Amino acid sequence: MPTIHFRTSGRSVDFDEGDDVNMLRAALRHEAGVPFKCASGNCGTDRVLVESGAEHLSAPRKRERELLGPELIAAGYRLACQTYVEGDCIVSWDPEQQPLISERAADALTKKWLSGDAEPGRGDD
C-alpha cells in the first residue's frame, strides 16, 4: 500500500494501490497539519518540499507553475492542493510558513472597489 509520509507532523497516510489522491485532501482528512488557505493554487501557503518520491506525483499544474516558478519547482517544492500522489513519498514544510502572495485579500478587494471598476453581475436566476 503506498504511503504519504508528512514528516513535519509525523503523520503517515496509506491509500489503495492504483489510486491517486490529492495531497492536501489526504492531509486534511488525516489531520496531518499541512497549512493551507485557498485550496486553489493562489496563495502558496501549502507548499511542501518533496524529500523523496517526486516521480510518484502528478506534473505541476498551470497555477502551480505560475505561483512557484521554475526555481522552486526545480528545488523540489510543490503545492499540496495542486498535487496528486500515486505512490510513496515524503514531504515536509515550515510549520510557520506564510502565503507566497503577501497582499491581504481584503486589501486587494478594497483597492478593486475603490478603483470603481464595476463588474458585470452574475445574474440572479
Q: Give the residues lining the site for other proteins (CB under 8 A).
A: 22, 24-25, 28-29, 36, 38-42, 61-63, 81-82, 105, 109, 119-120, 122-125
Q: Whose CA is closest to 46, among 19, 25, 62? A: 25
C-alpha span between 120 and 102 (Å, rounded)? 27
Closer by beta carbon to other proteins, 49 or else 84: 84
What single letter denotes the amino acid at residue 41? G
Min dist CB 72 to other proteins, Å, is 18
Taking CA atoms, 114 is separated from 19, 32, 42, in Å, by: 47, 40, 23
Q: Mark the segment that binds ligand FES (CB under 6 A) among 3-11, 31-39, 69-77, 116-124.
A: 31-39
Cα-trace Rg, the chain = 17
- Residue 60 makes contact with ligand FES by CB under 6 A: no
- Residue 46 makes contact with ligand FES by CB under 6 A: yes
- Residue 39 makes contact with ligand FES by CB under 6 A: yes
